[in-house]
Chain A
């Protein structure tokens, strides 16, 4: 029975010119976004691979020089993109993609396309995520706003109900019919997407991203389920199809356009973050004076000197068997690392609290839940960024310490005129970073996934209940 109803709804939609046009436009946009996303992914990946190889090469080809100069020369780290990132760019354009790892400083990330973009560009970037989060729900609304209201207006509902059809069968049949029409769009798009992914990816990468892709697929199905349920419920409840359309469009606007902005603003208000300038200033101040404001650089230098002299059992620096400049540099690093750790983790924790708030706001608008899940599975959310930044920073500390230690133990009395042989550069192994697994991403998204599931179940139940109460006139 349900299948019969679904098939009839499906046939009717296919014969409706409005649906054909709307679906064709959405399909074209989805394809375009996939192709553009794939191209963007390939270009960025190629650039990153090249740049990563080049920065390593430059590091290795340094002539004999003082290790501390080498540490200043530094190296760049590029955040690798996961395959699903072609679907959803997430916060990548805002947080940057590469960082310069050098002595003394935990640098900010560079290459933030959002900084260079005009306001219009920020608004209208077409990614698969935009199509899936905004346009397909709109299509679902257009497909189903008249599901019941339209039949009531045309009078077919009277005839239908005089047959003794169960109203729940009608709801599920219609839901299935809309799903079928959507599948016409989504199945080919998924195939194109997977083929595109296979084409832009190196061997094995596709398999490695399969888990993330599967979860993305399921999450978006849940999200579409919300819209199918809400649309059918409103259609059964509304007095006219016009009214149903107005109510559903209002829901769409609040969900897709108003709620994300309002929640982002609220999150910033509740957990404010300092400006980049203020952040840097506070850190610089503490770098000078120590976290408590009394531990000045001079005092620290004196204390270190006494400590080292005592450790080696000598009474003046000249008598030390090691190079004191190297020790002093490393001590400076460790002091500043404490300051970096304190401030960066405070800042990042704030961002994470903001994100937690956005996840919770998924209870108000399913858009916030799907945005969070989608970015996370695409590997482009803040948590993934932090994971990479932390790995890059610990590599920086490893590299700088290696340089300082070489100075300490090999410079003798030469201090900064000491030159290390190029063989030293080889002893610093290349930076390797493995992106976190799909299950790590999912574990960050339990709230959003739970809310998305709840939304879907609630919307479908809402549809069933409203239809059961539906009157014919």
Chain B
């Protein structure tokens, strides 16, 4: 579903991402771990075609994202660390607008509110302007947008940072449900616990390189933390 082939990005000679090879199948949740600047966000930006790769290619459903930027984006949904919305519009209007622009303009009001139910955003809040929302509420709108898009792959850039534990847990449940439906997920995160809980695989990145890949079912939480810290210390 998502595939990186020798994907590299250099800025003035330094590699932000160095020959990444990665394949994420439908139903897989791949968690990218690593310090700030390790190349996690760069990877996601490359899949979104927001930046051009120096070499190699990023593919979605077998299509190169630079060659077919619009077609490939139809299959994915993106949730950044800070979901940004139009603050003069209500949550519902934001959801409706982003869904319509993603090609789903047939949703009824009830269907749209249903997406908010799924992500745990109160219906009365949906009618308020986004300017009054907390960060957590904005993240929930972002997740609802992703759900409404019915994407086959999710690109998540620390989506749960700033969410309270309950909301964070609800998000993990949602991810499990989606992966059960065959959605492929690439998530950059700092949260080892969350990665172990909701990920099927984890990858550890360091200075633009993917230095280790593990299956979460094969390791315990403490093992993951130990392995991660070993990589960070040398």
Q: A164-B70, A164-B73 are in contact. Are A159 and B102 (CB under 8 A)?
A: no
A17 to B: closest C-beta gap in Å: 10
Contact with A along B97-125 (1 / 0, CB 8 A): 11011110100000000000000000000
For B72, B80, B97, B129, the residue with the greatest tally of chain A CB atoms inside 10 Å of its CB is: B97
Contact with B along A333-370 (1 / 0, CB 8 A): 00000000000000000000000000000000000000
Contact with B along A7-29 (1 / 0, CB 8 A): 01001100110000000000000
How far is it, in angstroms, between the C-alpha of A186 and the C-alpha of B69 when the chains are bound?
39
Nearest chain-A residue to B157 (Cβ)? A158
CB of A473 within 8 A of CB of B50, answer: yes
How far is it, in angstroms, between the C-alpha of A159 and the C-alpha of B139 when the chains are bound?
12
How far is it, in angstroms, between the C-alpha of A5 and the C-alpha of B89 when the chains are bound?
13
CB of B88 within 8 A of CB of A154, answer: no
Check if B93 is an interface residue, CB within 8 A of chain A.
yes
Which residue of A154, A164, A165 contacts B84 across the interface (Cβ within 8 Å)? Answer: A154
Nearest chain-B residue to A14 (Cβ)? B88
Which residue of B50, B76, B86 contacts A158 across the interface (Cβ within 8 Å)? Answer: B50
* A: interface residue count bin: 20 to 34
Q: A156-B85, A159-B84, A163-B102 are in contact. Are A8 and B48 (CB under 8 A)?
A: no
How far is it, in angstroms, between the C-alpha of A8 and the C-alpha of B129 when the chains are bound?
14
Check if B149 is an interface residue, CB within 8 A of chain A.
yes
How far is it, in angstroms, between the C-alpha of A361 and the C-alpha of B215 when the chains are bound?
71
A178 to B: closest C-beta gap in Å: 16
Check if B83 is an interface residue, CB within 8 A of chain A.
yes
Check if B61 is an interface residue, CB within 8 A of chain A.
no
Check if B74 is an interface residue, CB within 8 A of chain A.
yes
Check if A301 is an interface residue, CB within 8 A of chain B.
no
CB of B82 within 8 A of CB of A155, answer: yes
CB of A12 within 8 A of CB of B50, answer: no
Q: A4-B105, A159-B80 are in contact. Are A471 and B100 (CB under 8 A)?
A: no
Which residue of B50, B73, B86 contacts A163 across the interface (Cβ within 8 Å)? Answer: B73
Check if B78 is an interface residue, CB within 8 A of chain A.
yes
Q: A1-B101, A4-B101, A8-B97 are in contact. Are A162 and B86 (CB under 8 A)?
A: no
A-chain residues with CB within 8 Å of residue B142 when the two chains form the complex: 159
For A8, A12, A162, the residue with the greatest tally of chain B CB atoms inside 10 Å of its CB is: A162
Nearest chain-A residue to B98 (Cβ)? A163
How far is it, in angstroms, between the C-alpha of A32 and the C-alpha of B78 when the chains are bound?
50
How far is it, in angstroms, between the C-alpha of A472 and the C-alpha of B72 when the chains are bound?
17
Contact with B along A427-451 (1 / 0, CB 8 A): 0000000000000000000000000
CB of B89 within 8 A of CB of A8, answer: yes
Which residue of B74, B76, B86 contacts A156 across the interface (Cβ within 8 Å)? Answer: B86
Check if A192 is an interface residue, CB within 8 A of chain B.
no
Give the contacts of A137-162 with B (CB-CB under 8 A): 154-156, 158-162
CB of A11 within 8 A of CB of B84, answer: no
Q: A8-B89, A163-B98 are in contact. Are A155 and B80 (CB under 8 A)?
A: yes
B41 to A: closest C-beta gap in Å: 11
How far is it, in angstroms, between the C-alpha of A238 and the C-alpha of B149 when the chains are bound?
31
B-chain residues with CB within 8 Å of residue A11 when the two chains form the complex: 88-89, 93
Contact with A along B57-96 (1 / 0, CB 8 A): 0000000000001111110111010111110110001000
Nearest chain-A residue to B97 (Cβ)? A8
B-chain residues with CB within 8 Å of residue A4 when the two chains form the complex: 97, 100-101, 105
Contact with A along B138-155 (1 / 0, CB 8 A): 000010010001000001
Q: A4-B105, A164-B102, A471-B50 are in contact. Are A159 and B83 (CB under 8 A)?
A: yes
Nearest chain-A residue to B146 (Cβ)? A162
How far is it, in angstroms, between the C-alpha of A473 and the C-alpha of B98 when the chains are bound?
20
CB of A162 within 8 A of CB of B76, answer: yes
For A8, A16, A160, the residue with the greatest tally of chain B CB atoms inside 10 Å of its CB is: A8
B108 to A: closest C-beta gap in Å: 16
How far is it, in angstroms, between the C-alpha of A31 and the C-alpha of B115 when the chains are bound?
47
B-chain residues with CB within 8 Å of residue A162 when the two chains form the complex: 48, 50, 73, 76-78, 155
Which residue of A8, A161, A165 contacts B86 across the interface (Cβ within 8 Å)? Answer: A8
For A15, A155, A159, A166, the residue with the greatest tally of chain B CB atoms inside 10 Å of its CB is: A159
CB of B73 within 8 A of CB of A16, answer: no
CB of B97 within 8 A of CB of A159, answer: no
Would you list the 5 A-B pairs with minimal beta carbon distance, nearest first? A164-B73, A155-B84, A162-B78, A15-B88, A163-B102
B residues contacting A by CB (< 8 A) are: 48, 50, 69-74, 76-78, 80, 82-86, 88-89, 93, 97-98, 100-103, 105, 129, 142, 145, 149, 155
Q: What are 27 A-B pairs at a CB distance below 8 A?
A: A1-B101, A4-B105, A5-B101, A8-B97, A11-B89, A12-B88, A15-B88, A16-B88, A156-B84, A156-B85, A156-B86, A158-B78, A158-B80, A158-B84, A159-B83, A159-B84, A159-B98, A159-B145, A160-B101, A162-B50, A162-B73, A163-B101, A164-B72, A164-B74, A164-B102, A472-B50, A473-B50
